[in-house]
Structure formats: structure tokens, C-alpha cells
Structure 1
């Protein structure tokens, strides 16, 4: 058929598919010969999903995958530095490139490339031809260079986000419509492709100029009219460079292709050819999926002998078949599973419960898996009726084992030191069993394995890991439980629905374990996982179950005091504003600050309201009292709502205590996060924030003991960056902030004022976090120029810090990660980003080795602590960054402090020898504030 009106051409950016596949999946090799095939596997999966997903009115009538033929094109002849700074192709990807062409042909999709031209030029030529013929064209890519083609029947589809990019989408990206995209790119340049552009002009400025002058030629001809001197001179001086850049980014719509769109007609795959290729690649799972679609038998792929260095098992080779999962309803069936578990020595375990709070949730059922594709669910307390209304039944549904009988059979296995229990976030399941008197050990945790290898790259939840590493989307929970007022707990889910969902969790967990366990060694993080992640699980579980006593009366009194203080601040704010208004309304506050008072810095959002976020107010607070008072009011409001009011709702009815939950894999640096409630974010800089701790108390006959590392991150910075002045000061036991102030501001120690010391303290800690002049100005509420002067002086006095920062950024850019002194790897995927994200990524990379090392130290201390205090009448309750809080019988405080301090101050030994000794401050009190 001749391509024309009513026809739809799809053009797939082949390189984008390949690189997406390569970077999204872990390394994979063919079992028979060890050849790398990870990118090919991902590429084939993407093609299969594409073929299966393109049906209906938007289905293509014609399709092609377009590739780059080689690295040298006509653009290199124009400009020899074009794409000169591109990194070399990874060695394990190079041999896979030809296979992606073979794969495309195996799917019977046209595969096109042309020497001397880029894939984008071929795509441009075909898109323009499709438009001219009256048909439609969809370019499957998110490449910004292709956006110049959009419009009049040509659109783009970002397949990864399933988002269509039309003319408005292009405007959102560039600030101009497609016909002017080339002009904007010519001005802004492109650091990735080494297109020079106009120095100092980015996308936003380029769009402003083009919109003002109409097009690039008019802009260059009338450059003298530009009001800003620097911008005007840049365009005049670099006019030829800008015109060259336009030639480089302009796609060639007349590429000399030797085929027509008619040759790209959609064709059904040849079953023998496609299955033959997939079999040759040893893609078992995909072969089965494709064979099923084609109505054929999947080819038999023989198991090859394991290579000398065993690669990750092909866990995805076994399809997920929910019909094969077993419901275990009696002791005989459970004993069969227990025999299988003892035969292999490990089992993936998952629990289903009535809620997310392990202290109150009840066990509903247990899932087990010992082999991919084979899993069972043991329902225990499912109800006969789903309803919670007056006529609902609390009777148990039939087909379940008696609760006690099931636990009696499971407990010996769960506690057996010879059987490894594998879980995804095993701390949760361990606490559920602990509530029933069962101590689950030993354990492995797939969430923590992923965290050890992939911190900073993505989340570590089971669904995300399954999709990313197994290519499988698990059954969702929401359709089973419902939402809103009609939501039910899992014990109300019918068993025919519960079994596939619950058993799949254990199956996925087992497959992730089989995939991740051998990768730990290759990623060089086995020691991190074995010494810093896994051993922390039972320690945290014990702390969380212990909880901390809270005095409701103290909280209630504080709530009233905060309310009174807020009322006083409101009166001050109204007086400064000259009228009354709702201080809690950002819109009304914006109008007062920027319309009535005429302050600078007001910016309106899409809704036409002024932004009054903390960053805006902190800037204003350096010069305006009203902004300061509003910030103080907001802090009190947050303290009241988040702590003095909300904490009362978190008190457990049975224990009278608050039981926080720690997330081990929450922060990329290794710091623990605390939720429900968050006890790590209680502000301690303000007097009111510090007072919140008065509500956390010791029970009768006991006291609280707080042990806090003294300036641990500064000590680690002094060691890592080799700052002799800081190291010597720590060794002498100096007041480090006063010493810094003395060094920076030439003030003798005996003439130090609290304000000068406070400034030095803010800089000391700010530098660790890569603080800017803006940030320091906000913290100290001083003008930006003065704050920047402080920072500049700091680097002059301590040049080693600047060297450390530069070296760390360079390492991150070269390797894509940074490391703590204990080997924890923190990935830095955005280190090469442009714009505001670049600064954030650089600051995070600089801070991560310092904050991460401190986090590792306290983890090591916590892991050793239970053994160190086992003979004392003491319990470790909380960890808040650099501090550990204990509850101890009166009279045993000194013994606890001695034992805990010994552990904490030597937690780095013997792995890391620090040049600066760690020291720990201790305090004792009837409440946390007094102890701290």
C-alpha cells in the first residue's frame, strides 16, 4: 500500500532503547559462553512490550527502528569538536550493539541506519515525508533534538513515561514552539553534544530573546538593540559560533535514504526466526511469553554448565503463574513445605497482617517460597464475611489451619539457626512474629541488599525492585483492600484473592534474593551488607518494640503554652503589617508582604498567588522583622501540630509508650529515618523545640541516659580532608567553634563573643553540607554579601576543605558514586546534571562521605551495644542521628555510661583508624531534655 492519509508511521529511536536497557538492568551474561547480553535482553523486552501494546486506533501501519551507524557524521566535518567529550562506549555494551539490529530483524521490524548521518536525521526525513503524504508520524523518543519536528501530524512519545509530546509539550520544554526550537538550541548550546552556543546563555534566556526578536537571524542582525550590555556583547562577539551551532542542531530532512516509507509496512513476526533468535540468546522467560502470543511451543533451551565465575541466576526464566501457588490448609500440607525448606536450607517468608503498625497489627497469614515460581500461602485468620457492619460476621472462613497449630509447626523452622529466612524488609515480619513470642533468625533481607548496592539510584520497595530487576509488576494491594471509607483489612480479603497476592510476594522475594546475593560481591559491598545493614535489623526491632514513655500532661501544657505564644506573635505581626489577616494563609501573607509593603522578591505561581515558602521568608528575614516573626510563628505552629498535639495520638494503648519505626534504607548516606512518629526531626535549635523532649520521660525507679557524639562530622572532616588546624584543636580539646572563629576573624580566644562563636559554628556545620552564601545568610539572618565573605574567608584559612570538595566531586563524576570510610557506596546519578540540580548533586556528593561515615560509626556502635550492656538493667530506646538514648534503673547510670561510651568511642575500630579520637558526651535525667 502507498503511505498516505489515514496511515500512521512509528519511528523508534533505537539508541535510546539500547542505552535505557543497558543502564536499567544489572549485568547479565549468556550462560553457555559468558557473553554479555543484558542490554539485548532489555532491548528485546522493550520491543516485545511495544509490539503487544500497539493496538487499536493509534496502532501503526508502518514502523521502523532507526539506529546510528557510526560516530563520524557530516557534523564532525563542520565542527571537529562535535560530540568530542562523549564518554567511550562501555566495553560490555560494544559487542551487544550488532545483536540489537539482529533482534529488530527477528521481530520483523524494519531496521535502518546510514553512514555519515545520525539516526535523528533519518527520523527527520521520514517524519517530513509522512507529513507531506498526509499521514501521521509518532517518534518514540524523548530526545530534545527531535522536538523541532513536532506539529502538523508529527508527535513524540516518551515511552518510559508513556507521555505524548505535542506542540504544547515542546513549548513547556523550550519556551518556544517547534519551529523556533533550533534557534533556541543554537543560542543555548548543548554540553552533551559539545555544541558551543552563546556562552552564558541558557534555554530560558534564549527563549526570551527569540520570542522578543522573532527568530535567530533577526536577533543577530539587531543584537545592538539588546539592553543588557553583557548579553549584547556576547551575541555580537559569538555570532558566527551561534550560526555554526544552528547548523549542528538543525536536522537534515533530506537524508539520502535508499528506501521509502512504503517499505516500512508493519509485518507479523516470523515465529521460527524470532523464537530461534531468542533461543540462541538463551532468553527463557521472553521465549515463553512470545511463544504463548504466537501460539507455538517455547523452544527448549538447555542448561549450560555454570561458568568458572558463576553469574547471577536467571531468576526471570520461570514465568509468574499465579494458578500454581498453593493454599496450605492443613498440617499435612504444611509439613510437605517444611520438608522442602529443610532440604534446601533457606526459605523466603512474608506475612500478611491487619495493618502497617507492627505493634498493633495482627497476623492474618504466612507465605513461603523455596523455588522461583513455587510458593504457598497459609491463611490463618481470614473472616467469613468482608463486612464490618452490624450484621457482619467475625467467624473465620473455612479452609484455614488452627492458628496455634500452624505456629507450633512453623516456630521451630523460623528459629532454627540452620535455616536462612529471607524477607523483603525483614524487620517488619520479624516484629510481627516477635509479638507472638517467636525470634526469627538468621535472616537475609533483599531490601537491604538492594540498598547496599543501589543507594541513591532508586527506591528499594518490593514492587519497584520486581519491576526493575525481574521485569514483573506484582499484583497490587489496592483492588483487594479498597480505598477510603470502604477500605478493609487483609483478614477480610477472600482467600481465593489472598493466595495469589500473598504467595507472589514470597516468590518475588526469593527471586530477588537469588539475583542480588551473588551481586553483592561483584559490587564490593558484601562487607557493608554483612556488618552494617543485616546485623542492625534485630537491634532496631528490639528498640522499636521497647518504645519510650511519654507524659501526656506535659504535652498538653506545652500545647497551651505554644498557642499563647503564637497569639502573641500574631499580634506583633498584625501590628507590623498595619492590619489583621490570617497569618496561616500564604495568599494573604503574600499580598501583605509584596503588594502592601512592596518588598522585593515576590514571585507568583501558576495560580497567580505569591510564593511565601520558607526559602522566600528566610531571604526576607535577613532584613525584615515581619518575615522573622512569621517564621517563628510557623515553627511554633509546626511544633504544636506535629508534636505536642499529634504525639498524644501515637501513644500505644497497651504499653503507654510511643513506638517509632526506623527505616534502614531511607537515606542514601546510611542515616536512619524515623516515622510514625518522626522523633529525629524534633528541632533542637530553638528553645521551644528543645522543650518537646521534656515530655519523654523515664518510668518510676528509672532514669534516661543520653550519649551523644561530640561534633563527629567535624572530626571526620578533619580526618578525611586532612585539616591540621582542626585535628590539632580536637586533640587539645579546644572549643572548636571558638577556635574556628579565632582563626577566621583574628579574634583572640579570651575576647570571643557569643555572636562571633555562633557565626563560626554555623559556618563549620554549613560547610559540611555545602552551604551557599544564600543559605548561610538565611541561617544567620544577615545580608548575603556578608555571609559569602564568611565562607570565602573560611576556605582561605582551611584550604584543605576546598581540595577535599574538588577531589570528591571529580571522583563522583568519574565513577558515579562516592564512598564512606567503611566502604558504603552512595551512588550519585545526577552529578553530571545541569542547572539547579547540579549544585544540589555536588553538595550531596561532598557531604555523603562525611555524613555517611558518621552514620556507619553509630550503626557499628548500635550493633555492638546489646552485647555490651547485656548484664546491665538498661535498654537502648532511641537513636537520633549522633545520639543514643537509654532507659536504666537508678543506681546503674554510671555503669551504663562507662559501657556505652567505650563502645561508641571505639566503634570505628579496627576497620578505620581515625586521626581524631571520637568523644562522647553523656547526660542523665528524669526526662530526655534533662538527659540531653
Structure 2
């Protein structure tokens, strides 16, 4: 279970002025004023130290103002007109403060045309939509408008609960939440902007309404609800100065409301994931402190006393337990001796003679790291821009193939003609005697396959890392297995970022327009680092027991999945468009019915408005308010209300499902159709789920509802070519079968061996009879127990009291004691070793299994109970996928194409005349995928269906 991500956004501009006024004038050895710089550095140092000791951030960035002019000056030319120029001795310190931030290896973000507050607001909203919590390090009253905001709409795919925002005033060491804002302004955060618009701001020259102070402004907003209502009410007030001012200066208040509103849609020049906190490299900070004569801080850094880096990490792990210690041991294997990365040693290959030289070196070495540079991240639409090779540390080159401006008259740099270069590279890349090393090689395989080059054999450092360390690092690109993160972790090296080379925002340029010297440094470094990572990680496989899972399951799967992505699956655009229209009509109808049941119109998609309707107006019981001050209206709440007979909850649940399916699938799938192939090409991640399951994105096909009519309608849009059909092969209750085997549950094993209905058998064992109700309950219990569900969780699913749910759990364990023994043994083993194992030897690490934090610990325990079962299931279907092509070829069915893998299901396309023959091969391969590595005591059942569409076959 991944930890909650927590982003800290530091209002650096406020820090600067605090630092300037806090300390006397100082100069560095060169005579440059540095008083504010020193104060800023110590404040940032203290912040890092304090956060290190407390429950600190996972991500952090410092936000600064780029200039005094912003879009607000275009709206109101007198905005901030009264502000004096900064002190003369502060001006030369501004760039040094930026240097100080970067010396801490922290992102330092500033954008022209917008203020730091707007950038903070935009990053805060983006982070909360990802489910991250956000703390704004500031005491700025304008930013208090954001406090308590919890993302509840436009959440990113896969995010169930949005994050929330609070503030930290480091001067007072005070956390500022919703209650503190109400205490300060008399109104909640969402109304602060209305108060500020009435009272104005002399510092920023926001006019407001003359004579209206904070108390009067607050009173008006509390009485009338918002700014517009307060202004509208002025006509009906008794004659007074306040009435006159509200009427006379209404336009000023409305202008002020615009000026104090924070933009939440600014460009984000640095990706949120790039703000991840790690170790502070001592060298940049040491050099900065030494250059500016900050000797006391330098001594503290060197001695480790009060250092922001004394544990080598601004946000170090807090666990100090057996499981946590064990989970770190795999990373302590010594590195092979290698020189430091030297980008100046790389060669830009621009002639055929030099290309042939590098090909000979790769051929002689029998091992070469390869990377491709392309025009976009879509491997099915991008153009190849260049190829890089590495045969040793610092022995790397870049071969530009598609560089030059997009303008047809732009001058193109000297480079080998692409067809000639690829023809020269092809024999080496396809030579079975030369191992090609990639990082996330699936992408490169598809790029090169589109050029007619079928690369083989390969190793993939991302996949090796996953086989060794799944679960150790639960964040970052590729779940902690991206090249930049691996380079930092294993090599202590920071790679050049794409943004450093290509820029960001409107100033970004395509890689094909990057000057060749810079392009060579970036591209060749990727190959060099990949070669180094391979030298380190490959030797760990036999030492740490990762060879079997990597060689037998993961490594051979890479080209198989690449082929599936490349082929794609055809979708019926007209069918999708029809569904989108039907869903739009249906959601509009549901919205009308919801309004009738509510007795008024409101925004159904607003959790706040919905909560107010459900619990305040309609009086439904059980409403609970969160930190944001609004009622929770998540799915579990609505399902409980539905069980209590609230018809409006049923309608809202249906409305939510339809709107989500429309935006996620029927609308998005139309946009995802590749214009060159007329197919949808999902991208599978082989490291996306720590248990080993594949996940898919762009588009995500894993979350289409399985057993609903709406889900079937969406699957109807996935179709075969004329004359072909789709074949769906789905493992039947594979996780329950594996549980019966792994826990040695006699009654369940017996039921599977006899082909009985497993849920009916469980109902008989649990309740003594099989009815529609007892079978449904038995089915819920069967799956819930395997996920380590609590009495409260089961009670919620079954709609019973927790004591009754506990009694069911107790009965289940009594009837199937093997399940309880399996759970206890699994948890004991994971606590001791730090990881779980599948039957095939795949390790999943749980570094928080012994955490003192109950939520962390229980979350890890639930995941650890299920990981061996779910992971073994994933290993089996992967083995089936790897074996499927050769088995079909041997049967003379090589034209049968495997298109999709979704959960426990494989989808194929084939001529209708081959269905019988192919079905036998597919079922045999899937049913025996575990052999001979693992012998199961229960048979694996496979359900097969066919049809013109996926829906018909499923």
C-alpha cells in the first residue's frame, strides 16, 4: 500500500523579506550583500530540519515571484502601484536566494506573468487531484482561501479520495486549518476572498470599499452569504454611511474580488513527481556556503550537527523494525568499480565510418545498452529522432537521425541518412549473440519494430529492479523503477532531465531541435547509465533470489506485451459516439429525477451541495463532516443510504457511474484511436502494481465494469476485423483456487476438484443451506477474507452490524481453519523477512509492516495477506502469455493474435473457422501455465467465449 503523498509548497517570496528584515546587513568575501541570503538559508535549513523531525513532506518546492508585473496589472493598472521599490542592497540578493534554494537541491519555481500565490494555488490543486495532501508554508492571508480545500472532482484516474490543503506558519510554529481561518476572519476559507474584496488591501493597492474594515466585511458576508448578495442587499439597508459606500463603490468591490482570486490553472513548469524529496547532495550546498562565507553553517554541515542532511534524507524512513531493516538489505550490494559519469566523453556519431566503428565495438563486447530518442511519448505515433549506444562506463555515443527544425527551410545538422543508419544497425540489434540492454525496453522495442527491426535478445533494467525491489520504493516513475530514480539510488548520480535540454511550457522545443552537443550529452547518458545499472542490478539477481522470476516470467514477457501494444484492438467509433450520446441523455434524465427527489436544482457533481441536500435538507442520518467542513458523499456513504432506502442515493450512484464511464471510456476512447492503424493501443506497465499484475494506461482498460450491462455495452465497441471474431479466455475464480491450494483448505479443494459451485459450497459450510442470499453472502466473504478485511469492512459490505460480521469471520475460520493459519503464517513471515513471496518466488516488500503508525501497519498487513495469492495469479497468467505464441505456432495457428490482458482474462482475434482448434490450445496453455515449476492441488478452470465484439465474447 502506497503512503499518502504530502507536498509542501514554500512561499519563498515571504521568506526573502522576512530574512531581510530579520538580520543586520552582511556581505560575503566579494563584498556582495548577503544578509537576506544568510537569513533565507538558515530559515530553509530550519524548515528542513523541523520537517525531518516531524511527519514531514514526501515532496517539496520553493515558489518565488518572477517579477512585480502580473496579469492583474492588465486588469487593473494601479495594482501594487503603491509598493516601494525593494531596498537597494536587497536587489543583488534575489539571484543568490535562487542559488541558495538550488544548493539544497530543491525545485525553485517562478513564472512570468503570474504571482507566487497563483503558482502555489495551481500546484496545490493539481496535487490534491492526485490524492496528495498539501501544506503551504506561509502566513499570507490571500493563500488562506485555499485552506481546507479537498479535491472531490476531476480526480486523476485511479484516485479514489482527493487530498486536502493546510498551512504552516513557521514564524509562529503554527498549523493553520479551517478553524484557524474562521477564528481570524469570521468566515470559512471559501469566503475569505469575499471578505478581502470588501476590505481591500493598501499594500497591494486593491481598492475594496473605503471605510469597510475586516470586522464589517466579515459581518456582511456572514449575514448575506457572499459578496454579490451583500452588495445586492445594500439597497434595502437603513440609511447609513455603509449603505452609501456599498452602493457607490460596488464596482471597486467586484474588481477587488477578481484581483484577490487566485489562479488555479497556471502552467506547471516542474512535474509534481520531480519535487520528490531525497538526499541533499553535500557538494552543491557545501560549495554555496563556502563561496559566500557562511562558515558556521558550513561547519554544521561538515560535522552533521543540526544538518538538514544528517540522515542523508530530508524525509528519511521512520521505521526501525525487523521488517523494515530486512527490506533494505537488497540495496547494499557493493557497486562494481566504475568511473564517475563524464558527459564530455560521449561521441556524436555523424558519419557512417564512425557508426560502423561503434557497431563493431558492440559486436565485440556482446553486450550493449541501447536507447532511442523520439518526437513524443506515444511509441505508435512518434518519429525516431536518434539512437544511443553504450558499451561501458563513459563509452557511449549518440547517433542523430532526425534532427533539424520543423521548418522545411531550416538547416539540418550533419547526420547519417536514417535508412542507411538503421540498415547498418539492424544486424547487430537482431543478432542473437549480442545482448541488448534497455531501461523500459518495451517502448524502444515498439519504436524500432515500426522501423522493421525486431530486437532480440534483451535485458531490461527496469524489470530487473522490479524483480528485486517491488514494494521497496512505492513512488516515482515506474513505481520507483524509473532510470532517474535508479541512478540516484544505486549510482549516486543525477541524470540530465528532459526539461533541462528541451525547456518547459511555451518555450519547450522538440528533441529533434536540440543542438547536437546537448542532445548527445542527454541521450548518450541514458545509455551509459543503463549500462551501469545493468552491471549493478544483474549481479544481484542470483544473490537475492530474483533470477527465477526474472528469467522465467518477467524477461520473456517484455517482447510479448510490446507486440500486443503494437497490434492494438479495433474499436467502433460510431458505436462509442452513440453510447456517449445515450449516456448524456441518461445522465440528464437522472439529474432531473435527482432534482425532483431533492426538491430543488443543484449541482449533482458537487459533493458539498450533495451533502447539504442529503443530510441537512432531506435529513438522512449518518452524515459525517471531514476536515474541509463538508459532508462525505463517497460511494460507501451513498451505498449505505441506498441500503437504508434512500432512492436519491441510488440515482446519484447511477449518475456518477454513467458520467465517469462517459468521460473515461466512450469519450476518451474515441480520442485514443490511432489515425494510422484505426486501433486503440493501450500501454501496459510491467511494474505498475507491486504484486506483479499488469496495469494499463492511455487508455486504461482494467476498470471497465465487469458484470454490469453498461460495462458490456462499452465492450461491445471493441470489435474484430471483418471475417474474424474475438475470443475471451478467462481464468475462473483463480485467486480462490490458489487460496485453497496455498492454505490447504480441504473443503474448498474438494469443491474445485469436483467442479462444484464454490460459493454454494461455502454457503453450505457457513450457513447450513444454499439460498440466493446465503450464496451472495458466501461469495462476498470468500473474496473479502483473502484481502484481510476487518469486521467493520465486512459489516459495510454485507449491511450488518460489526458483531455479526465478526461472527461470520469466526465461523469462516472455524469451517476453513487453513485460511486462518495461512493468514497468520504469512503475516509472521513478512514481519520477520520484510517481504512476501509467490509460489514462483516473486518477492513483494512491505517496509511498513511493523510501523508504529496503525494505519500504515494495518494497510501493509492487508496487502501482505493478499500479495502471495494475487501475485501467484499474476505470475501464472504471465507464464501463459509467454507460452501462448509458440504453442499457437506449433499448432499451425500463428495468425491468431493475442490483443489484450485484463485482470484474469486474455483476448484474442482469429478467423471464425479457427475457433475450435484455437480454443483447445489456449485452454491447455492457460490451465497448465504453472507447470512444471509449481504443482497445484486444484485445477485451473478457464472459461472461453467468442463473438464479433469483446462484449459478445466476454
CA–CA separation in structure 2 for the residues paired with 1:793 and 1:169:
55
Deviation at 1:588, TM superposition (A): 1.1
Q: Which residue of 1 aligns with 2:775?
A: 757
Among 578, 587, 594, the alignment partner of 2:608 is 587
Q: Which residue of 2 aligns with 1:917?
A: 939
| Structure 2 residue 867 is matched with structure 1 residue 848 | yes
Q: Which residue of 2 aligns with 1:688?
A: 710
CA–CA separation in structure 1 for the residues paired with 2:811 and 2:898:
42
CA–CA separation in structure 1 for the residues paired with 2:300 and 2:39:
21
Among 659, 674, 699, the alignment partner of 2:696 is 674
Provide closer, same or farther for how the CA distance between residues 620 and 318 of structure 1 changes in structure 2, counting only shifts above 3 A: farther
| Structure 2 residue 896 is matched with structure 1 residue 877 | no
Counterpart of 1:534 in 2: which secondary structure? helix
Q: Which residue of 2 aligns with 1:900?
A: 922
Provide closer, same or farther for how the CA distance between residues 758 and 564 of structure 1 changes in structure 2, counting only shifts above 3 A: farther
| Structure 2 residue 486 is matched with structure 1 residue 465 | yes
Q: Which residue of 2 aligns with 1:398?
A: 413
Q: Which residue of 2 aligns with 1:820?
A: 838
Provide closer, same or farther for how the CA distance between residues 837 and 176 of structure 1 changes in structure 2, counting only shifts above 3 A: farther
Among 49, 52, 55, the alignment partner of 1:142 is 52
Q: Which residue of 2 aligns with 1:15?
A: none
Counterpart of 1:891 in 2: which secondary structure? helix
CA–CA separation in structure 2 for the residues paired with 1:560 and 1:60:
59
Provide closer, same or farther for how the CA distance between residues 145 and 568 of structure 1 changes in structure 2, counting only shifts above 3 A: closer
Q: Which residue of 2 aligns with 1:810?
A: 828
CA–CA separation in structure 1 for the residues paired with 2:544 and 2:106:
29
Q: Which residue of 1 aligns with 2:267?
A: none
Does the CA-based 8 Å contact 1:618-1:781 persist in structure 2?
no
CA–CA separation in structure 1 for the residues paired with 2:37 and 2:460:
41
Deviation at 1:792, TM superposition (A): 3.7
Does the CA-based 8 Å contact 1:709-1:883 persist in structure 2?
yes
Deviation at 1:612, TM superposition (A): 2.4
Provide closer, same or farther for how the CA distance between residues 408 and 800 of structure 1 changes in structure 2, counting only shifts above 3 A: same
CA–CA separation in structure 2 for the residues paired with 1:516 and 1:622:
53
Deviations 1:153-211 (A, max 9, x none): xxxxxx9999999868976599999xxxxxxxxxxxxxxxxxxxxxxxxxxxxxxxxxx
Q: Which residue of 2 aligns with 1:540?
A: 561
Deviation at 1:631, TM superposition (A): 1.6
CA–CA separation in structure 1 for the residues paired with 2:594 and 2:47:
59
Provide closer, same or farther for how the CA distance between residues 485 and 599 of structure 1 changes in structure 2, counting only shifts above 3 A: farther
Deviates more, 1:453-462 or 1:556-565: 556-565
CA–CA separation in structure 2 for the residues paired with 1:889 and 1:267:
73
Deviates more, 1:773-782 or 1:314-323: 773-782
CA–CA separation in structure 1 for the residues paired with 2:746 and 2:53:
49
CA–CA separation in structure 2 for the residues paired with 1:6 and 1:619:
59
Deviation at 1:394, TM superposition (A): 6.0
Deviation at 1:771, TM superposition (A): 2.5
Does the CA-based 8 Å contact 2:23-2:39 persist in structure 1?
no
- 1:330-369 equivalences under 5 Å are 330-369=351-390
- 1:220-369 equivalences under 5 Å are 314-315=335-336, 317-369=338-390
Deviation at 1:486, TM superposition (A): 4.6
CA–CA separation in structure 1 for the residues paired with 2:818 and 2:301:
65
Deviation at 1:819, TM superposition (A): 0.2
Deviates more, 1:822-831 or 1:768-777: 768-777
Q: Which residue of 2 aligns with 1:380?
A: 401
Provide closer, same or farther for how the CA distance between residues 627 and 315 of structure 1 changes in structure 2, counting only shifts above 3 A: farther
Q: Which residue of 1 aligns with 2:658?
A: 636
Counterpart of 1:398 in 2: which secondary structure? coil
Question: Unaligned stretches of 5+ in structure 1?
Answer: 8-53, 64-135, 147-158, 178-263, 274-285, 287-310
CA–CA separation in structure 1 for the residues paired with 2:593 and 2:766:
37
CA–CA separation in structure 2 for the residues paired with 1:840 and 1:168:
36
Deviation at 1:600, TM superposition (A): 4.2
CA–CA separation in structure 2 for the residues paired with 1:579 and 1:820:
54
Does the CA-based 8 Å contact 2:570-2:718 persist in structure 1?
yes
CA–CA separation in structure 2 for the residues paired with 1:625 and 1:422:
58
Deviation at 1:587, TM superposition (A): 1.9
CA–CA separation in structure 2 for the residues paired with 1:766 and 1:137:
43
CA–CA separation in structure 1 for the residues paired with 2:592 and 2:419:
63
Provide closer, same or farther for how the CA distance between residues 606 and 270 of structure 1 changes in structure 2, counting only shifts above 3 A: closer
TM-score (norm 2): 0.65
Provide closer, same or farther for how the CA distance between residues 813 and 138 of structure 1 changes in structure 2, counting only shifts above 3 A: closer
Does the CA-based 8 Å contact 2:347-2:520 persist in structure 1?
yes
TM-score (norm 1): 0.67
Counterpart of 2:667 in 1: which secondary structure? helix
Q: Which residue of 1 aligns with 2:913?
A: 891
Aligned length: 667
- 1:69-88 equivalences under 5 Å are none
Deviation at 1:622, TM superposition (A): 3.5
Among 718, 723, 732, the alignment partner of 1:710 is 732
CA–CA separation in structure 2 for the residues paired with 1:137 and 1:484:
30
Deviations 1:40-75 (A, max 9, x none): xxxxxxxxxxxxxx99446689x9xxxxxxxxxxxx
Deviations 1:716-758 (A, max 9, x none): 00011111110111111111111111221111x4xx22x3322
CA–CA separation in structure 2 for the residues paired with 1:858 and 1:653:
31
CA–CA separation in structure 1 for the residues paired with 2:874 and 2:922:
17
Counterpart of 1:340 in 2: which secondary structure? helix
